[in-house]
C-alpha cells in the first residue's frame, strides 16, 4: 500500500515546483465540496452518452486520452475538438455569444483564458476528490473552476542528422547566430496558447530585442506548437526555436532524429488547466471526465504516454525521462499573459510579418 | 426540367412561370443582399454602428494591409495568365483535334478540378518543401547533399504555382465547352472561301472561343484572388499574407469585423470593374452557336504531332494530378510523411488512426456529403432558373438578377462567412450552429460559377428553338421541358457536379461558420494541418477524393428525359 502523502511531500514532489502561481488565491474562496466518482455519476454520465472535449493537445495524444476514457466507461463517446488554444478561445467566444453550447470540457494551453471565462461566469465549479487531495493550491482555482491537468515545456531542439551535438544551440541567444538563418521553425502566438505563453515569458526574460533579432533569421512560421517537432523530425528545418518539448521527447523515443535543448536562460513552462463549461450539454459526462482525468491512474498514464508532467502528488516520472527539477524553468504568470496578449499579437505580427 | 414540379398551365393565357420566377428572384435577393448589407454596415461604421470611414483610413494607411493587397494582385494576375496559357491549348487539343486519349485528358483535368486547393497545397508541401520535399530529396540524390533546394513551395512562386494547378480547370471547362459546341460549318465556310488554317483560326475559331476564354480568365482571377485554402497552408510558412489570410487573421480574438468587412470592399470594387470590362470587351456581339441548323465541328488532324500533343497534356497534368496524388498515397502509408514507402516500411497506422481513433472523422464525412448533395441540388435549380430569366429576359429587372447571381464571386468566402454569420446569428434567422448556415454559405459561394455555366449553356441555345415550339402551340413550360431541358442536360449535370465539388473544395466560409457539431472535411483537414498531422491529412484527403469521384461518376450515369436528344442533335 502507498503511504499517505502530506502537503509537505507535495511541495517536494518533482512537478510541483514553485514555477509561478497559475491561480491566485482571493480573500474569499468558495470551492464546492470535492466529488468522488460514484456509481450514480457514472450512470448519469452513461445516460448522456457523449462528451465534447475542446483541447489543444497534440491530436494523437488527445485522441488516445479520449479512447482511454471510452474504454474506462463504455457507452460514452468522446469527441475531441483539437485546435490551437488561441483559436479555441476565439471559437468559444463566438459560440457563446451566439448562445451555442457545444463544448463540455475545455483544456487550454493558455492558462490566462480561464480568467475571462471565470469572470463571464462561463465555467462550472467542480472539484474532483483527487484534485482536492493531491493537487497543489497554486495550480487550482480557489473557486473550483479549473485545475492544471498538465504541465509541459516549450524548448529548443535540433535534428541530429542535420546538426552535430557540439554545434547545437545551447541558449536562446545562440539562435541569433547567422549560421541558423533560414534553418529554424517556430509556432505562432496568435494560434497557439503554448507559444503565446512562451512568447510572454521570453519577452519578460529577454525583452523584445531578442525577438526582433530572431525575426531577421528567416524563421519558418507554423501555427501550432505541436507542428515544429514534426517539421524537425521530417528534416524540413534543422532547429526548433520554440514548440512542445513533449513532442520532441516522444519522437525521440520513437527513434526519430531529434534532440531537445533546455536553454541556459531557462525553459518556458506552460500550464494546461481543464474546466467544465457552465452550459455543458453533457454535464454529468463532463464531471465524470474531469474526475477521471485527475485520478492518479489517469495522470500516471498521461505522463507515461504523453511525455508531459503532472501535478498529482502521487504520480511518478517515467524512468529515463528528464525530471522537471533538473531543468531551469521560466516562471508562469497567466495574469501577466492576459494583460499582454494584444501587445504580443500586434508586435509579433509586425516583427515576423505574418 | 426542374420546373416540372409546377403543373403545366391548362389554359395558355395564364402563365404560371412568372410567379415562380419572381419567387426565385426574391430568394436570390435575400440570399445575396442580406449578408452583403451586413458587410456594408460593418465596413462603414464603427463598433457603436456610427457611420465612419475610419476603417478605410486604417486600411489604406497601413502597410500591413497594403502589402497583402499588392501580393494578392500579383498572385491573382499571374495565376489567371498561367491558367489561360495552359488551359487554352489543352482544351483546343481535347476538343478540336484527333489527339489520342482525349477522354483521358478530360478525366484528368476533372481530377485536378476535384482536388481541393488546400489538399493540393498540402500535397505540394510533401513534394516541394525545400528540405523534406520528395522532389528536393530526389534532386539532392543527384546534385549532392548540400545542394540548394530545387523547389521552394513556401514562396510567392510556389503559391502561384499551386493556385494555378487547381484553378486552370475553370478556364478549361469554359473554353472546351465553347469549342465543343462550335459549329463546324462556320470553319468550313472559312476554308471554302479560301482561308487557310491560320486565317480560319484567327477570324472564326478564336473569336468564337474568346468569350469563354475571357470569362475563364476572369473566373480564374477571381478564384485566385479570393482563394483561402492554398495561401492558408503555404503563406504563413512563406512569411507573408494574402488578402484572405490577412482577413482571416482579423477574426482572431478580439475579432475586428469592421476592418474585415472594409478589407473586402476593394476586392468587390475590382470585381465589378472587371465584369464591366468583360462586357465592354465582348460588346453586343451575339455568340449563339447552337441553332437548329448546325452540324458537328470537324477535328483538326495533327498527324505526326498527335503523340507530342498528348505528351504535352500529360506533362502539364503531372503537376495537379500525378505527383500530388503519389505524394498523398505515399504519406498515407508511410511512417513519416515524406519518406518514400518501401514494402518493408509500409504501415496501416495512419489509416487506422483516421478511421478508428480520430473522433471527428465520421461526423465530418457525414456533414460534408449531406451538404454537398443538398447544395448541389438546390444550387442547380436556382442557377438554372436565374440563367433562364436573364438569357431569355423573361421578367423586368433580369439584369439585376444576373448581377446579384454573379456578385458573390467578388466577396472572398471568408468575408461572406462573416456576412452570413452576422445575418444568421440574430432573429429572424438564427441558423448558426446548424448545417443550414453552411448550406446557405456554400449555395451563395457556388452560385456565380453555376450561374455562369448555365447562362453560357443557355446562351449557346438560340431562342429560335423554343420559339419554334411555342409557335407550334406549346406553353413556355412545355417548350422548356421538351426543347430546352434535353439540350441542357449536359450543362445541368456538369453544374450539379461543379457545385458538389465546390462544396468539397470550400474552406474559407466554413472556417468561420463551423461549430464542433457542424464540422466538414475541409475544416478537419485545416485543423490537422495546423498541428502538422500530414499523414492523417493524406488519408482523409484520399477518402475525400474517392467520395467525390464516386458521386460525380454516379451522377453522370443518371438517365434524364430526352437525354439523347442533345447527342442526336449534335451528331446530326
In B, which residues are within 8 Å of A54 by CB distance?
516
Total count of domains within chain B: 1
Are B161 and B77 within 8 A, CB to CB?
A: no
Identity of the residue in B359, B425, B517 whose CB atom sits nearest the CB atom of A102: B517
Q: In which domain, by residue range, is B515 found? A: 15-297+321-571
Cell of B562: 430526352
Beta pairing partners, A272: A150
Q: Are strands A50-55 and A77-82 parallel, antiparallel or unpaired?
A: parallel
Q: Do A63 and B358 touch (CB under 8 A)?
A: yes
**Torsion B525-B529-B531-B536 (CA) sign:** positive
Whether B10 is in a domain gets the answer no
Its ipTM equals 0.91
In A, which residues are within 8 Å of B528 by CB distance?
59
**Residue A292: predicted pLDDT:** 98
Between helix B117-128 and helix B534-556 the angle, nearest 10°, is 140
**A329 vs B31, which has greater pLDDT?**
A329
Q: Do A102 and B516 touch (CB under 8 A)?
A: yes
Interface test with A, best of B154, B366, B532, B534 (most A CBs within 10 A): B532
| Residues B412-422, mean pLDDT to the nearest whole number | 82
Min mean pLDDT across A151-155, B307-311, B396-400 is at B396-400
In B, which residues are within 8 Å of A221 by CB distance?
236-237, 239
Whether B86 is in a domain gets the answer yes
Q: Which pLDDT band, with edges at 50, 70 and 90, does B267 fall under?
A: confident
Whether B7 is in a domain gets the answer no
Q: Do A59 and B530 touch (CB under 8 A)?
A: no
Residue ranges, chain A, pLDDT below 50: 1-16, 18
Whether B309 is in a domain gets the answer no
**Residue B566: predicted pLDDT:** 35
**Residue A19: predicted pLDDT:** 59
Q: Which pLDDT band, with edges at 50, 70 and 90, does B382 fall under?
A: very high
CA distance A354 to chain B (A): 5
| SS percent in chain A: helix, strand, coil, step 5 | 45, 15, 40
pLDDT in tens, B123-149: 999 999 999 999 999 999 999 888 889
Cell of B378: 438546390
Residue of A nearest to B145 (CA): A162
CA–CA distance, B528 with A80 (Å, rounded to integer) = 12
Nearest alpha carbon to residue A330 among A193, A204, A208: A204
Query: Is there a cis peptide before residue B428, judged by omega within 30 degrees of 0?
Result: yes
Beta pairing partners, A267: A329
Whether B306 is in a domain gets the answer no
**Residue B430: predicted pLDDT:** 85
Diameter of chain B measured on Cα atoms: 82
First-to-last C-alpha distance (Å) of chain B = 23
> What are the phi and psi torsion angles at A275 (to 5°)?
-140, 165
What's B447's domain CATH number?
1.10.3720.10
The conformation of residue B340, written as its DSSP 8-state character, comes to P
The conformation of residue A56, written as its DSSP 8-state character, comes to -
Cell of A353: 510579418
pLDDT in tens, B438-448: 999 999 999 98
CA–CA distance, A262 with A247 (Å, rounded to integer) = 14
Identity of the residue in A63, A84, A98 whose CB atom sits nearest the CB atom of B359: A63
Q: Do B433 and A100 touch (CB under 8 A)?
A: yes
| Residues B396-424, mean pLDDT to the nearest whole number | 81
**B294 vs A243, which has greater pLDDT?**
A243
In B, which residues are within 8 Å of A191 by CB distance?
530
Are A33 and A270 within 8 A, CB to CB?
A: no
Residue of B nearest to A64 (CA): B357
Place of cell 492523417: B536
Number of Cβ within a 10 Å radius of residue A218: 12
Q: Do A236 and B363 touch (CB under 8 A)?
A: no
Whether B210 is in a domain gets the answer yes
**Residue B295: predicted pLDDT:** 62
Are A172 and A202 within 8 A, CB to CB?
A: yes
**Residue B22: predicted pLDDT:** 82
Cα angle A115, A119, A124 (rounded to 5 degrees) comes to 90
pLDDT in tens, B138-197: 999 999 888 889 999 999 999 999 999 999 998 998 899 888 877 777 778 888 888 887
Within 13 Å, how many C-alpha atoms sit on residue A345's CB side?
Answer: 18
DSSP notation for A325-349 = GGS-BPPB-HHHHHHHHHHHHHHHH
**Type and span of the H or E element at A44:** helix A39-48
pLDDT in tens, B350-374: 999 999 999 999 999 999 999 999 9
CA–CA distance, B457 with B487 (Å, rounded to integer) = 9
pLDDT in tens, B50-85: 999 999 998 888 888 899 999 999 999 999 999 999
Q: Do A235 and B532 touch (CB under 8 A)?
A: no
Mark out chain B residues that contact chain A at CB-CB < 8 A. 64, 129-132, 154, 235-237, 239-241, 249, 251-255, 336-338, 353, 357-360, 363, 421, 425, 432-433, 515-517, 527-528, 530-534, 536
**Residue A12: predicted pLDDT:** 43
Instruction: Report the mean per-residue pLDDT for chain B.
Output: 85
Identity of the residue in B129, B241, B253 whose CB atom sits nearest the CB atom of A90: B253
Q: Are strands A123-124 and A269-277 parallel, antiparallel or unpaired?
A: antiparallel
Q: Which pLDDT band, with edges at 50, 70 and 90, does B572 fall under?
A: very low
Q: Do A220 and B154 touch (CB under 8 A)?
A: yes
In A, which residues are within 8 Å of B249 by CB distance?
190, 349
Q: Which pLDDT band, with edges at 50, 70 and 90, does B7 fall under?
A: very low
Q: Which pLDDT band, with edges at 50, 70 and 90, does B287 fall under?
A: low
**Residue A6: predicted pLDDT:** 47
Number of Cβ within a 10 Å radius of residue B247: 29
Q: Do B433 and A98 touch (CB under 8 A)?
A: yes
Burial class for A95, CB neighbours closer than 10 Å (0-12, 13-18, 19+)? buried
Place of cell 482561308: B195
Which range of A185-194, B403-412, B548-557 scores highest in mean pLDDT? It is A185-194
Cell of B258: 469592421
CA–CA distance, A270 with A15 (Å, rounded to integer) = 12
Whether B203 is in a domain gets the answer yes
Q: Which domains does chain A show, CATH number per domain?
A: 30-152+270-321 (3.40.190.10), 155-267+336-352 (3.40.190.10)
Are B233 and B121 within 8 A, CB to CB?
A: yes
First-to-last C-alpha distance (Å) of chain A = 55
CA–CA distance, B59 with B27 (Å, rounded to integer) = 34
Side-by-side strand order, sheet with A220-221: A220-221, A184-186, A239-240, A156-159, A258-261
**Residue A29: predicted pLDDT:** 67
> What are the phi and psi torsion angles at B161 (to 5°)?
-60, -50
CA–CA distance, B423 with A98 (Å, rounded to integer) = 12
Tally A–B CB contacts below 8 A. Answer: 121
**Residue B561: predicted pLDDT:** 41
Beta pairing partners, A158: A239, A259
Q: Do B530 and A350 touch (CB under 8 A)?
A: no
Whether B257 is in a domain gets the answer yes
Amino acid at each position: 500500500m502507498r503511504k499517505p502523502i502530506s502537503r509537505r511531500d507535495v511541495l517536494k514532489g518533482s512537478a510541483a515546483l514553485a514555477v509561478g502561481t497559475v491561480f491566485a488565491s482571493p480573500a474569499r474562496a468558495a470551492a464546492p465540496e470535492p466529488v468522488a466518482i460514484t456509481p450514480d455519476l457514472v450512470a448519469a454520465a452513461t445516460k448522456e452518452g457523449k462528451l465534447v472535449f475542446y483541447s489543444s493537445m497534440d491530436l494523437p495524444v488527445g485522441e488516445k486520452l479520449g479512447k482511454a476514457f471510452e474504454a474506462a466507461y463504455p457507452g460514452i463517446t468522446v469527441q475531441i475538438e483539437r485546435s490551437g488554444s488561441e483559436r479555441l478561445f476565439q471559437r468559444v467566444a463566438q459560440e457563446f455569444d451566439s448562445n451555442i453550447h457545444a463544448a463540455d470540457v475545455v483544456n487550454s494551453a493558455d492558462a490566462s483564458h480561464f480568467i475571462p471565462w471565470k469572470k463571464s461566469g462561463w465555467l462550472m465549479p467542480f472539484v474532483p476528490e483527487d484534485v482536492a487531495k493531491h493537487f497543489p493550491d497554486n495550480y487550482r482555482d480557489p473557486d473550483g473552476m479549473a485545475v492544471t491537468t498538465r504541465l509541459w515545456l516549450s524548448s529548443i531542439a535540433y535534428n541530429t542528422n542535420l546538426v552535430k551535438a557540439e554545434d547545437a544551440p545551447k541558449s536562446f541567444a545562440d539562435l541569433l547566430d547567422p549560421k541558423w538563418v533560414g534553418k529554424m521553425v517556430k509556432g505562432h502566438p496568435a494560434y497557439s496558447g503554448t507559444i503565446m505563453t512562451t512568447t510572454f515569458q521570453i519577452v519578460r526574460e529577454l525583452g523584445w530585442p531578442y525577438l526582433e533579432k530572431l525575426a531577421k533569421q528567416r524563421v519558418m512560421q507554423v501555427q501550432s506548437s505541436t507542428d515544429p517537432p514534426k517539421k524537425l523530425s521530417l528534416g524540413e528545418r534543422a532547429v526548433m526555436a520554440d514548440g512542445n518539448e513533449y513532442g520532441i521527447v516522444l519522437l525521440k523515443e520513437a527513434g526519430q532524429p531529434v534532440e531537445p535543448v533546455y536553454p541556459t536562460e531557462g525553459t518556458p513552462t506552460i500550464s494546461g488547466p481543464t474546466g467544465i463549461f457552465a452550459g455543458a450539454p453533457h454535464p454529468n459526462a463532463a464531471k465524470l471526465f474531469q474526475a477521471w482525468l485527475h485520478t492518479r491512474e489517469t495522470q500516471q498514464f498521461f505522463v507515461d504516454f504523453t511525455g508531459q508532467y503532472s501535478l498529482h502528488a502521487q504520480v511518478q516520472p517515467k524512468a529515463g525521462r528528464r525530471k522537471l527539477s533538473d531543468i531551469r524553468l521560466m516562471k508562469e504568470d497567466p495574469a501577466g499573459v492576459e494583460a499582454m496578449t494584444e501587445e504580443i499579437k500586434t508586435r509579433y505580427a509586425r516583427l515576423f510579418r505574418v | 426540367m426542374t420546373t416540372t414540379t409546377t403543373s403545366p398551365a391548362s389554359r395558355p393565357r395564364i402563365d404560371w412561370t412568372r410567379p415562380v420566377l419572381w419567387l426565385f428572384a426574391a430568394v436570390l435577393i435575400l440570399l445575396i443582399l442580406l449578408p452583403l448589407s451586413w458587410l456594408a454596415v460593418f465596413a462603414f461604421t464603427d463598433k457603436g454602428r456610427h457611420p465612419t470611414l475610419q476603417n478605410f483610413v486604417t486600411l489604406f494607411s497601413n502597410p500591413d494591409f497594403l502589402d497583402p493587397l499588392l501580393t494578392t494582385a500579383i498572385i491573382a494576375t499571374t495565376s489567371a495568365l498561367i491558367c489561360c496559357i495552359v488551359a487554352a491549348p489543352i482544351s483546343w487539343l481535347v476538343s478540336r483535334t484527333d489527339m489520342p486519349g482525349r477522354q483521358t485528358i478530360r478525366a484528368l483535368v476533372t481530377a485536378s478540378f476535384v482536388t481541393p486547393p488546400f489538399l493540393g497545397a498540402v500535397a505540394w508541401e510533401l513534394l516541394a518543401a525545400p528540405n523534406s520535399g520528395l522532389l528536393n530529396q530526389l534532386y539532392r540524390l543527384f546534385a549532392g547533399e548540400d545542394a540548394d533546394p530545387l523547389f521552394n513551395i513556401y514562396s510567392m512562386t510556389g503559391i502561384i504555382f499551386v493556385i494555378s494547378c487547381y484553378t486552370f480547370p475553370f478556364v478549361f471547362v469554359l473554353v472546351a465547352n465553347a469549342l465543343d459546341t462550335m459549329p463546324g460549318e462556320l470553319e468550313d465556310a472559312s476554308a471554302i472561301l479560301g482561308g487557310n488554317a491560320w486565317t480560319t483560326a484567327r477570324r472564326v475559331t478564336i473569336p468564337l472561343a474568346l468569350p469563354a476564354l475571357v470569362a475563364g480568365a476572369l473566373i480564374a482571377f477571381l478564384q485566385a484572388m479570393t482563394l483561402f485554402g492554398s495561401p492558408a497552408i503555404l503563406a504563413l510558412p512563406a512569411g507573408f499574407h494574402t488578402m484572405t489570410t490577412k482577413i482571416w487573421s482579423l477574426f482572431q480574438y478580439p475579432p475586428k469585423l469592421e476592418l474585415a468587412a472594409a478589407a473586402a470592399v476593394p476586392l468587390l470594387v475590382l470585381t465589378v470593374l472587371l465584369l464591366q470590362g468583360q462586357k465592354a470587351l465582348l460588346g453586343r456581339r451575339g455568340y449563339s452557336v447552337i441553332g437548329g441548323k448546325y452540324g458537328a465541328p470537324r477535328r483538326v488532324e495533327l498527324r505526326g504531332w498527335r503523340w507530342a500533343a498528348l505528351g504535352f497534356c500529360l506533362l502539364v497534368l503531372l503537376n495537379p494530378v500525378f505527383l500530388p496524388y503519389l505524394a498523398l498515397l505515399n504519406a498515407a502509408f508511410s511512417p513519416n510523411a515524406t519518406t518514400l514507402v518501401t514494402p518493408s516500411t509500409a504501415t496501416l497506422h495512419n489509416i487506422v488512426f483516421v478511421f478508428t481513433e480520430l473522433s471527428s472523422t465520421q461526423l465530418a464525412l457525414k456533414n460534408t456529403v449531406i451538404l454537398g448533395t443538398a447544395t448541389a441540388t438546390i444550387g442547380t435549380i436556382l442557377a438554372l432558373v436565374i440563367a433562364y430569366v436573364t438569357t431569355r429576359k423573361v421578367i423586368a429587372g433580369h439584369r439585376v438578377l444576373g448581377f446579384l447571381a454573379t456578385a458573390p464571386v467578388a466577396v472572398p468566402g471568408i468575408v461572406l462567412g462573416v456576412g452570413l454569420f452576422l445575418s444568421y446569428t440574430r432573429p429572424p434567422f438564427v441558423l448558426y450552429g446548424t448545417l443550414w448556415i453552411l448550406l446557405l454559405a456554400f449555395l451563395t459561394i457556388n452560385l456565380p460559377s453555376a450561374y455562369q455555366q448555365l447562362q453560357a449553356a443557355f446562351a449557346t441555345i438560340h431562342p429560335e428553338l423554343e420559339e419554334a415550339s411555342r409557335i407550334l402551340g406549346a406553353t413556355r413550360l412545355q417548350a422548356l421541358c421538351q426543347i430546352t431541358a434535353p439540350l441542357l442536360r449536359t450543362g445541368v449535370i456538369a453544374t450539379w457536379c461543379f457545385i458538389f465539388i465546390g462544396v468539397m473544395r470550400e474552406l474559407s466560409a466554413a472556417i468561420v461558420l463551423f461549430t464542433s457539431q457542424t464540422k466538414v472535411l475541409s475544416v478537419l483537414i485545416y485543423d490537422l494541418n495546423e498541428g502538422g498531422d500530414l499523414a492523417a491529412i493524406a488519408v482523409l484527403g484520399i477518402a475525400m477524393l474517392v467520395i467525390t469521384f464516386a458521386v460525380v461518376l454516379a451522377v453522370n450515369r443518371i438517365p434524364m428525359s430526352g437525354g439523347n436528344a442533345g447527342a442526336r442533335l449534335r451528331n446530326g
